Amino acid sequence: KTLISGDATPAEGDTVTYQITVTNAGPAQATNVSLTDSLPAGLTATANNGTTATGTYTAGTGVWAIGTLANGASATLTLEGVVDAGQAGNTITNTTTAASGDQTDPGTAGDDLSESVTVGDVILANDDDYSVDPISSFTGGTVGSVLTNDTINGAAVPVDGSLTTIVLSDYSDLSGVTISDNGMITIPEGLAAGEYSIVYSICDQNNPINCASALVNILISEPSLLPIIAKDLKTVLEEDLSITMVQQSHQMGGFADGALERVRTRTGLACLEAVNARLKAENIFFDTDKATIKPESARILDDLAQILGTCEGNRFEISGHTDSDGSEEYNMRLSQLRAEAVLHALVMRGVRAEEFIARGYGESRPIASNITEAGQAANRRVEFLSIQGDDLYGKCYEATNRGRFLDITANGSGSTIDGFFLDERHDCSRDAWTIFEGSLNYLETASGMSQGMMNLSYRRENFTGKESVRGYFFGAYVSQNDVNNRANGEILGLGFNGGIYGASQLRNGIFLDYYLGAAVGRHEFDLDFDRSVGTINASGDYSYFAGFFGAALSGDMQLGSRTVTPSVGFDYSYSPGIEADVISTLDSVVQFDVLELSPIFGGRVYAEVRDERLINNKKTLFALTPRLACYQSIGDLDGVCSIGGSIEIVSANEHDDFFYGFEIDGDWGKGFSRRSITGSVSKRMRYGALRGDVTLGAFGALGIEGIYELNF
């Protein structure tokens, strides 16, 4: 018996064919020859089952009646069946009896009476489509297991390789592609983008030729470059816009500060109140019946000169008064001489008193009874009065103020160069100022980041009444930000701003200053980002709009020899969310995208009281400033409130050839604290000043810097 179908490990549904051959080896004819052979269980007979050219075969009994078989002749019988379902893993054996007849067979030696087949496992491999999950051509990747929808004997194919082996049989277009025992296909980086079909085969470990094959569709894509760099690019661009807004906010706040200073300098009422408050605390004393000022009053005159130095442009009357002793004519003359003596003493102390008037009133304006000594002492006094009336204001003249400044700083954290020019013109007939101003700021830090900005501005401001300044401004800036953190490259900016500002004296020595402005700009960037896929270049631009608003209330109060200056205010900046146009490039890949930038906003609300006085024989200014502030940092930082303050000891006259200063400053809030100690000395030189600073900052950080300030 032989297995002529050839496959001893058929699968379910395969056809198994046996052939039984009977040969008469002689020496004589054999008669009535027969044998019995039935198709074994597990096989279902086909139409060819029982086919023979000799004799007859009865399938039901399995008897093959051959009949007479000549000497040397042979007869064949074919048995054939299809492997039944459920036979996977079973061995099917077909056994025949030995042939018999009227003659006796000398033996069965050499007869092959049995043949077996073992039914192989049923492996079903189904096609997979992973093109819906593209693989990046830059990074490569792994597709899901191809075994998830494949079966062996009706059960899921184990992913541990215990029953099957899996190979890629056709992947010539994808060099370097591999498949693991768990069916995961790994795509290496660098393959060309496109859709591919890979053929894989699953084979029975016990029967390596029992295999099933299927197709896997995959898509290798050219992915978007922007998501790879989006987080860092967004941070860099928002920081660039934040810095730009901070600088413009400071600039606009500076305009308001300048207007406030102009009002403070111009306001006669504030000066008058300060001078008379000082005289009320301690009057000027003269030798008896003389116009000679006593030496002990020199300190009072120094204080008055300092106050009046901030009041240029105002006109005052220095009024002299006496008690009622002596004749009216004598007292009138004495009071006039004493008023003139005070005026002369102030002029000697540098007060510009061309428009001041000295006038004696004698005993005509008592403020107390002359009956008592205390009353007489009160009546012997000097007072200041504001001169009203345009006829007393003197001649109107034009004025021009020009300034240039260069500040170079170098320390362990880097270096800075700051400079500005100023051209200020006063139109006296209109009581208006026209100011052209430019500034250049450059910063280089130890981290390798540097940035520069040049601002140009035009302002026009004028008094509306004697105690209010209003102005408007417009300007432009160009900026360059060299980026060396998160990326490498630069950002160039061009923008314009404009708005209004002003300051007013309200009442009781209280001042208001404010600003309201807006800015627009366009910034272009060219940045490189190092990534595992290579260096991605991001170029493009963004345009923004920002609004700025701030206001403050402040005042000066003379409490004896002390000047107390309380102030409260706020600053706020806002820029809505914008879109940046981005061109991302990696080698030959160029993509155009849009990146959303978050709104940028921030500001502060603060209150502080500065209490200052002169000490050390008026050579040193001592100031104590407690404060309360709440900040919302521009950018994405959380807001915080703090309490703090500063103690300051500096030279009283900042124009001295030698200047010194010392300051302790700190703030404390929820979750944070800030402390610093700063010492400074400077020496004026022919064309500027040389200054040295030592700072002990937060966490004990020590900073030492040298500054050369050049005026030209």
Q: What is the pLDDT of residues 477-527, one digit of tens each?
A: 999 888 888 899 999 999 999 999 999 988 767 899 999 999 999 999 999
Q: Which of 300, 128, 131 is nearest to 215 (CA)?
A: 128
- Residue 622 or residue 406, greater confidence: 622
In this structure, are 75 and 97 located in the same domain?
yes
Residue finishing a domain among 65, 83, 118? 118
Per-residue pLDDT band at 140 (split at 50, 70, 90):
confident
- Residue 106 or residue 395, greater confidence: 106
- Residue 706 or residue 422, greater confidence: 422
Two structure tokens written together for 601: 């906003």
In this structure, are 442 and 589 located in the same domain?
yes
In this structure, are 490 and 548 located in the same domain?
yes
End-to-end CA distance of the chain: 120
Instruction: State the pLDDT at residue 583.
Output: 97
Which CATH number goes with the domain that contains 70? 2.60.40.10
In this structure, are 379 and 276 located in the same domain?
yes
Instruction: State the pLDDT at residue 310.
Output: 61
Q: Of all residues in the chain, what percent carry a pLDDT higher than 90?
A: 39
In this structure, are 279 and 345 located in the same domain?
yes
Q: Which of 447, 441, 445 is nearest to 415 (CA)?
A: 445
Q: Of all residues in the chain, what percent carry a pLDDT higher than 70?
A: 85
| pLDDT above 90 (res 164) | no
In this structure, are 623 and 691 located in the same domain?
yes
In this structure, are 326 and 403 located in the same domain?
no
Which residues are bridge partners to 556 per DSSP?
A: none
Helix (H, G, I), strand (E, B) or coil at 67: strand
How many angstroms separate the most distant Cα atoms in the chain? 189
Which residues are bridge partners to 489 per DSSP?
A: 483, 527
Which CATH number goes with the domain that contains 336? 3.30.1330.60
Instruction: State the pLDDT at residue 676.
Output: 80
Q: What are phi and psi of 373, to 5 degrees?
A: -65, -35
The number of distinct structural domains making up the chain is 5
Instruction: Report how far apart, in Å, the C-alpha atoms of 149 and of each of 123, 200, 222, 248 are.
Output: 11, 13, 28, 64
In this structure, are 578 and 442 located in the same domain?
yes
Helix (H, G, I), strand (E, B) or coil at 257: helix
**At which residue do the structure tokens 């980002």 appear?**
529
Instruction: State the pLDDT at residue 163.
Output: 78
Q: Can you tell me the distance from the alpha carbon of 346 to that of 350, in angstroms, rounded to the nearest whole number?
A: 7
In this structure, are 272 and 247 located in the same domain?
no
Residue finishing a domain among 352, 377, 392? 392
In this structure, are 475 and 496 located in the same domain?
yes
pLDDT tens digits, one per residue of 6-17: 888 888 888 999
**Mean pLDDT throughout 611-632?**
86
Residue finishing a domain among 78, 102, 118? 118
What DSSP letter does each residue of 490-553 carry, written as one string? Answer: EEEEEEEEEEEEEEEE-STTEEEEEEEEEEEEEEEEEEEEEETTEEEEEEEEEEEEEEEEEEEE
Q: Can you tell me the distance from the alpha carbon of 708 to that of 504, in angstroms, rounded to the nearest whole number?
A: 36
| pLDDT above 90 (res 66) | yes
Q: Which of 648, 646, 650 is nearest to 675 (CA)?
A: 646
| pLDDT above 50 (res 153) | yes
- Residue 350 gets the label, from left (phi > 0), alpha (psi -120 to 50) or beta, of left
Least confident of 120-129, 366-375, 629-638: 629-638
In this structure, are 340 and 432 located in the same domain?
no
Per-residue pLDDT band at 705 (split at 50, 70, 90):
low
Instruction: State the pLDDT at residue 38.
Output: 93
Residue 695's CB: how many other CB atoms inside 10 A? 16
Q: Which of 345, 245, 258, 355 is nearest to 305 (CA)?
A: 345
Q: What are phi and psi of 156, to 5 degrees?
A: -60, 140
Per-residue pLDDT band at 393 (split at 50, 70, 90):
very low
Rg of the chain taking only CA atoms, in angstroms: 52
In this structure, are 249 and 279 located in the same domain?
no
**DSSP H or E segment with residue 401:** strand 399-411
> Domain containing 572: what range?
230-264+395-598
- Residue 608 or residue 171, greater confidence: 608
Quote the strand ranges of 84-210, DSSP E.
Answer: 91-95, 114-118, 123-124, 128-136, 141-142, 151-152, 155-156, 164-170, 178-179, 185-187, 194-204
**Mean pLDDT throughout 191-217?**
86
Q: Can you tell me the distance from the alpha carbon of 708 to that of 692, in angstroms, rounded to the nearest whole number?
A: 9
Task: Outline where 282-396 has alpha helix (H).
Answer: 298-308, 328-348, 373-379
Specify the amino acid at residue 661. Answer: G
Angle between helix 298-308 and 328-348 (nearest 10): 70
Instruction: State the pLDDT at residue 429.
Output: 55
Specify the amino acid at residue 22. Answer: V
* pLDDT, mean over the chain: 84
- Residue 131 or residue 710, greater confidence: 131
As a 3-state breakdown, the chain gives helix, strand, coil percent values, each rounded to 5, of 15, 55, 30
